[in-house]
């Protein structure tokens, strides 16, 4: 279960992932644009690194995560530096886990590949959005990703077309060696969005520094994918 996987590594996650000064985080925040005064949900918020940045930028933010231990860390950070954030321990893919028609934006930073029920999560996120609200998420690029001693989006011995949850073995895949990840094709993500009435309106494939991993050739192939999708008025309808 995802809760148990992330509860087990909460302290490791807190120590190793707390900056927003990286290409993927910057691309995510750029696609979000100005957030001051907006109601924003951070889905799979973890210990709140993106949640806090959004609050500092003036958003009214709530965070939700399946890991009780990570949510506890987020609540402790809120006590230390109050930003008006409300955190909730819940599974975003469960029916009724988040409020309906309550948010202008939903963000999910590297969370979708950790969620077992993609369609359930995307449907819940869509329901949480107001009409013409946006969902912006980042994932390891499903077509590329990885590098020397860093796992890509699917096992080295596998194929892009082989979807499923797997656990990385590469030395530098410090997180995914412990909790694994779901590989899904790009078409699977887009189909899930479409079924939930979410229409892709912007995509970013941030370029990493050339010295990130010379063996990967990071200046030629993207490692991360960031997507913005707009909520239509009803499933099957184009955004107004």
Beta-sheet pairing, 86-89 with 60-65: parallel
pLDDT tens column, 205-216: 998 766 666 555
Q: Quick one: DSSP state of residue 226?
A: E
Q: Quick one: DSSP state of residue 112?
A: G
Q: C-alpha angle 147/176/195, rounded to 5°? A: 95
Tokens of 227: 């997507």
Residue 121 CA to residue 192 CA, distance in Å, equals: 9
Flag whether pLDDT at 177 surpasses 70.
no
Residue 156's pLDDT band, with cuts at 50, 70 and 90, is confident
Number of other residues whose CB lies within 10 A of the CB of residue 116: 14
For 138-166, b where at least 16 C-beta lie within 10 A, e where not — what string? bbbbbebbbbeebbbbbeeeeeeeeeeeb
Q: Tell me, what's the pLDDT at 135?
A: 98
Flag whether pLDDT at 174 surpasses 80.
no
Q: Tell me, what's the pLDDT at 181?
A: 80
Residue 165's pLDDT band, with cuts at 50, 70 and 90, is confident
The domain made up of 2-143+181-231 has a fold known as Rossmann fold (3.40.50)
Most confident of 67-71, 84-88, 98-102, 170-174: 84-88
Average pLDDT, the chain: 85
Each domain of the chain, given as residue ranges in start order, spans 2-143+181-231
Flag whether pLDDT at 48 surpasses 90.
yes
Q: Tell me, what's the pLDDT at 91?
A: 93
Q: C-alpha angle 118/115/169, rounded to 5°? A: 125
Helix and strand numbers, DSSP H then E, in the chain: 8, 9
Residue 95's pLDDT band, with cuts at 50, 70 and 90, is confident
Which residues have CB under 8 Å from 63's CB, separation 6+? 41, 42, 45, 48, 51, 71, 74, 85, 86, 87, 88
Flag whether pLDDT at 20 surpasses 90.
no
Q: C-alpha angle 9/15/21, rounded to 5°? A: 120
For 19-37, b where at least 16 C-beta lie within 10 A, e where not — what string? ebeebbbebbbebbeebee
Q: Tell me, what's the pLDDT at 16?
A: 54
| Nearest to 25, CA basis, from 111, 144, 138, 105 | 138
């Amino acid at each position: 279960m995802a809760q148990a996987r992330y509860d087990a590594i909460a302290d490791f996650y807190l120590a190793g992932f707390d900056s927003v000064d990286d290409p993927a985080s910057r691309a995510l925040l750029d696609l979000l644009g100005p957030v001051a005064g907006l109601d924003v949900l951070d889905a799979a918020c973890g210990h709140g690194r993106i949640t806090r940045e959004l609050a500092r930028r003036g958003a009214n933010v709530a965070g939700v995560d399946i890991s009780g231990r990570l949510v506890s860390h987020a609540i402790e950070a809120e006590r230390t530096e109050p930003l008006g954030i409300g955190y909730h321990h819940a599974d975003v893919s469960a029916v009724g886990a988040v409020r309906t028609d309550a948010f202008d934006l939903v963000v999910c930073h590297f969370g979708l590949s950790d969620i077992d029920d993609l369609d359930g999560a995307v449907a819940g996120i869509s329901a949480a959005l107001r009409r013409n609200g946006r969902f912006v998420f980042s994932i390891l690029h499903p077509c590329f990703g990885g590098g020397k001693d860093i796992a890509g989006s699917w096992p080295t011995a596998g194929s892009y077309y082989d979807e499923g949850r797997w656990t990385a073995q590469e030395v530098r895949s410090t997180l995914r060696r412990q909790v694994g990840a779901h590989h899904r094709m790009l078409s699977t993500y887009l189909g899930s969005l479409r079924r939930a009435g979410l229409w892709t309106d912007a995509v970013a494939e941030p370029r990493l520094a050339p010295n990130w991993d010379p063996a990967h050739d990071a200046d030629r192939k993207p490692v991360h994918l960031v997507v913005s999708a707009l909520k239509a008025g009803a499933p099957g309808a184009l955004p107004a």
